[in-house]
Amino acid sequence: MTERVTGEVQAMAEAIHYDVTDGVAVLSICHPPVNALAWPVRDGLLRALTQAEVDPEVGAILVAGEGSTFPAGADIAEFDAAPKDPWVPELCTRLENCAKPVVAELHGTVLGGGFELALACHYRVALRATRVGLPEVKLGLIPGAGGTQRTPRMVGVKVALDMILSGRILPIDRPPYSTFADLLVAAPNDLRSAALSFCHDVMAKGPRPSRDRQEGFADPVATQTELRSRAEEASEGPENAPREAVAAVEAAFLLPFEAGCAFEEAAFAELVASDQSKALRYAFFAERRAAKVPLTAAAPLPRIGALAVLGAGALASQLVVAALDAGLTVRWGIADEAIRDAARAEVEDSLEDAVSDGALSRDVASASLARLTCGATPLMIRDADLVLDASRGSRAETAPDGALRATAPGETVAGVGLRFARPAHLSRLVEVLEAPQAKADQLPLALALVKRLGKVPVHVRSDGVTVGGKMTRALHRAADALVDLGASPYDIDAVLSDWGLELPPFLQRDATGLKGVGTEERPGGGRDWAAVIAQAGRSGRAAGRGFYNYRGDAGAPVADPLVLEMIERARGDAPGLAKQAIVPLMLGALANEGVRLVDRGIVARASDIDVVIMLGHQFPRWRGGPMKAAELHGLFRVIRAMEAIDHPDRAFWAPEPWLKAMVRDGVGIETLSA
Ligand code: 3HC
């Protein structure tokens, strides 16, 4: 017989539903979309817990998430304000200290603070499809609610650090992650009854606090060795969170539980306030904002099941792989039969490689191939929901009128074009170019496709201009101007590489190749140094010489005195430039260009530019993209640096009024929108 007591504690009214069923208090978290542990959830949970603790009818407590998931983490949007009590660690401690057994019922994506909450419960019953993870490092943070302390106690430092340093989302039904679950349930409909019955089983056993578990530290020598090598690895990168994560896990091993938690709390507080974490949190929301494009057509995004891809080149085959990975049915149209067979064989090989590497299971690879049909183009188009024309050169003659075009650099579009960052099957960015002549239904189709492929669309109003292209040209123009002013390309690259650019401008230009055609003078004033160098017969890395010399050991780039001589001869006297001015000037030039793109309505907001440059152009995510990086560096400092130089390309270097207004009004670049 089920006795049912239903009560609502006032303050938890909406975020927590409280039920007592047959002696088990069920605390259901209801805070869509992902049940993030925002203040009303934390406050409500604490009150509900107190109520359950004192209720003599309650023998065990079940914590669950309503809707699609158990909490997917702390509320990231709250991190910019001072923490409001109760904060997640306090909640976890209260759950763990509860005198009655507390069970977590897991489903969905149990991440970050949500996973830590689950670990603080005494037992866990999980749906098999549940995925767990500690993705805080992707936000420049470490787990801050006991995750660095409880996880290694349960599964050892190796698995704990793999989880914390990778931030990966992992299946709870596979070892070693199955250690986290005391009971796995296959069918969603059985989860609640299994969890309630489990609660009854543990009523007699009582609480089992994770802080008392020690099985993860069973081998102290191996633990010590693992910690030492992880500390060494983490010290190499520019990001602070991995270093702090290793230190916190070491504290779990060496210190009493409370002292380890205090270490974690202090490290978390320092990281949350850091520019790196601010940039990474911004990047998280910027990507989600970019994907929200207001549409003129009122209809919901169309559903895409079968996609026809046209073309036989590298881009087409990358798109076929991307579409298969996303679970789409793919109809690949290639006119020539021999080319078609070779193209299919190539895709088969790449899936086989993924199986051998362990990146893909045999079943998934076979299912992907079963969804691929190759044939003559008209036949392939016939049953497709959407046609994506990725043929090289001009548009495929057989492409139907409404087809979307996967564009190449420099190509203009008449309707909507998709500029996939390369390689298209791995990269997450797609610039969705909407030309003025585009038909009303083309943009919704393009967005639906990009989202279906699991990629991030950035809407660009243009018939050919891309954000990536514009910003890259601005970076090169700025880098050339710094040489005009007296800096050497090697100093510029070294400073920017230390700052975090993976491929600084002169190395980047060598990699893509230098062109000697055209004039050495830039239209706005100053020199195009790539043209100067190319005209001296140095066309870039492929040719063994460009700005750098690649003819030595293993083709590594080496500074070349001949290039410096060439520059000095062509430049004559230069005013000279302090190295400290390089970063603010580069950021100023990029921020200026970004403002122009928003001002002209090419993109809707500054953060869209950052998304493009972070996802598609190797800009360090922990700097937040060029616009956010300029803000974090200090727009006032950036503007002062631009105003302090005397370069002939004045229109380029004059700070845009919008930038100046932001400094004057004390607002951030998030206010910059068309
Ligand atoms: N806080 C605040 N909002 C969040 C959030 C979070 N932790 N996680 C997701 N959201 C929001 C998103 O911004 C989005 O809002 P919008 O609809 O207004 O744009 C909405 O929830 C849905 O998110 P997605 O579009 O990303 O939905 P998906 O279904 O594609 O993905 C997810 C769901 C896998 C949960 C993904 O959102 C995700 O990875 N979230 C972040 C998880 C995370 O980083 N957790 C750790 C937070 S830090 C922490 O917990 C600190 C602790 O140690 C103290």
CA 208 to each of CA 101, 143, 327, 585: distance values in angstroms, whole numbers, following the listed order: 7, 22, 42, 58
Measured in Å, residue 291 CA sits from the centre of ligand 1 at 14
- Cα 72 to ligand 1 centre (Å): 6
Please state, in angstroms and rounded to a whole number, the distance separating the CA atoms of residues 70 and 66: 7
Q: For 359-382, what is each residue's pLDDT tens digit? A: 888 999 999 999 999 999 889 999
Which pLDDT value is given to residue 409?
87
- For residues 315 and 310, give the distance between their C-alpha atoms in angstroms, rounded to a whole number: 10
Best probe residue, ligand 1, of 31, 34, 80, 285 (max atoms within 8 Å of C-beta): 34
Task: Output the pLDDT for position 299.
Answer: 62
CA of 284 to the centre of ligand 1 (A): 8
pLDDT value at position 608? Answer: 97
Atom of ligand 1 nearest to the CA of 75: 1
Burial class (CB within 10 angstroms; exposed 0-12, middle 13-18, buried 19+) of 65: buried
Distance 195 CA to ligand 1 centre (A): 26
Burial 410-442 (b: 16+ CB within 10 A, else e): ebebebbbbbbbeebbebbbbbbbbbeebeeeb
Q: Which helix (H) or strand (E) holds 373?
A: strand 372-375
* Residue 69 alpha carbon, nearest atom of ligand 1: 35
Respond yes or no: is residue 116 known to be catalytic.
yes
Query: In this structure, which residue's CA is closest to atom 52 in ligand 1?
Result: 113
Predicted-assembly ipTM surpassing the 0.90 threshold? yes
CA-68 nearest atom, ligand 1 = 29
Q: Which of 349, 341, 316 is nearest to 330 (CA)?
A: 316
Distance CA 579, CA 158 (A): 42
Show Cβ contacts of residue 665 under 8 Å, excluding neighbours closer than 6 positions: none
Ligand 1 centre from 71 Cα, in Å?
Answer: 9
pLDDT of residue 99: 97
Which ligand 1 atom sits closest to the C-alpha of 284?
A: 13
Instruction: Fill in the amino acid letter for 501.
Output: L
pLDDT-based confidence at residue 155 (cuts at 50, 70, 90) = very high
Give pLDDT, residue 5: 40
Look at ligand 1, atom 28, and give the residue with the nearest C-alpha: 34
Distance from the CA of 115 to the center of ligand 1, in angstroms? 13
Among the atoms of ligand 1, which is closest to the Cα of residue 292? 19
What DSSP element (H or E) covers 549? Answer: strand 548-549
Q: What was the pLDDT predicted at 396?
A: 64
Please tell me the predicted confidence (pLDDT) of residue 554. 87
CA distance 22 to 596: 64
Helix residue spans in 572-634 (DSSP H): 582-599, 606-616, 625-633
Q: Which atom of ligand 1 is nearest to the CA of 134?
A: 46
What average pLDDT does this structure show over 18-23? Answer: 95
How far, in Å, from the CA of 199 to the mean position of ligand 1? 29
* pLDDT for position 4: 38
Neighbours of 366 (CB within 10 A): 12
| pLDDT of 13 higher than 60 | no
Please state, in angstroms and rounded to a whole number, the distance separating the CA atoms of residues 218 and 4.
44
What DSSP element (H or E) covers 185?
A: strand 183-185
- Nearest C-alpha to atom 22 of ligand 1 is from which residue? 33
- Ligand 1 centre from 137 Cα, in Å? 14
Q: Please name each of the domains of the chain with its CATH number.
A: 2-272 (3.90.226.10), 306-464 (3.40.50.720)
Question: What is d(CA 201, CA 525) in angstroms, rounded to the nearest whole number?
Answer: 79
Q: Please determine, for residue 6, whether its predicted confidence score (pLDDT) is greater than 60.
A: no
Distance 38 CA to ligand 1 centre (A): 12
- Give Cα separations from 559 to 153, 422, 555, 556 (angstroms): 50, 29, 12, 10
pLDDT band at 9 (very low <50, low <70, confident <90, very high): very low
Instruction: Read off φ and ψ for residue 280, nearest 5 degrees.
Output: -70, -35
Pocket of ligand 1 (CB under 6 A): 33-34, 36, 72-77, 88, 109, 111-113, 116, 135-136, 139, 141, 143-145, 147, 288
In this prediction, residue 59 carries a pLDDT of 98
**pLDDT for the residue numbered 12:** 46
* Atom 36 of ligand 1, residue of closest alpha carbon: 72
What's the pLDDT score for residue 1?
32
pLDDT in tens, 22-74: 999 999 999 999 999 999 999 999 999 999 999 999 999 999 999 999 999 99
pLDDT digits (tens, 9 = 90+) for 226-247: 999 999 999 999 999 999 999 9
Which of 39, 76, 282 to mutate to test ligand 1, by most ligand atoms within 8 A of the CB atom? 76
**φ, ψ for residue 306, nearest 5 deg:** -115, 125
pLDDT in tens, 598-614: 999 999 999 999 999 99
Ligand 1 nearest atom to the CA of residue 142, by list position? 53
- Predicted structure pTM score: 0.94
- How far is residue 104's CA from residue 192's CA, in Å, rounded to a whole number? 11
Q: Are 587 and 633 in contact (CB under 8 A)?
A: yes
269-291 mean pLDDT: 96
Bigger pLDDT: 346 or 624? 624
List the catalytic residue out of 136, 264, 287, 434.
Answer: 136
Read off the pLDDT of residues 514-570 as tens digits, 9 standing for 90 and up: 987 767 888 889 999 999 999 999 999 999 999 999 998 889 999 999 999 999 999
Percent of the chain, pLDDT > 70? 96
136 is annotated as an active-site residue: yes
Examine the pLDDT at 7 and tell me if it is beyond 80.
Answer: no
- For residue range 63-121, list pLDDT tens digits in order: 999 999 999 999 999 999 888 999 999 999 999 999 999 999 999 999 999 999 999 99
- Is the pLDDT score of 301 beyond 80? no
User: Is the alpha carbon torsion for 566, 567, 572, 577 positive or negative?
Assistant: negative
Of the candidates 96, 105, 116, 244, the residue annotated as catalytic is 116
The answer to whether 241 and 271 have CB atoms below 8 angstroms apart is yes
Distance 256 CA to ligand 1 centre (A): 32
User: Which residue has a Cα nearest atom 10 of ligand 1?
Assistant: 34
Question: What is the per-residue pLDDT across 451-506, written as a single tens digit (0 to 9) for each?
Answer: 999 999 999 999 999 999 999 999 999 999 999 999 999 999 999 999 999 999 99
Name the DSSP class of 601.
Answer: T
Taking the CA of residue 116 as reference, the ligand 1 atom at the shortest distance is 53
Query: Taking 90 as the threshold, does the pLDDT of residue 450 lie above it?
Result: yes
Tokens 């974690």 locate to 264
Selection from 423, 432, 436, 474 nearest residue 450 by Cα: 432
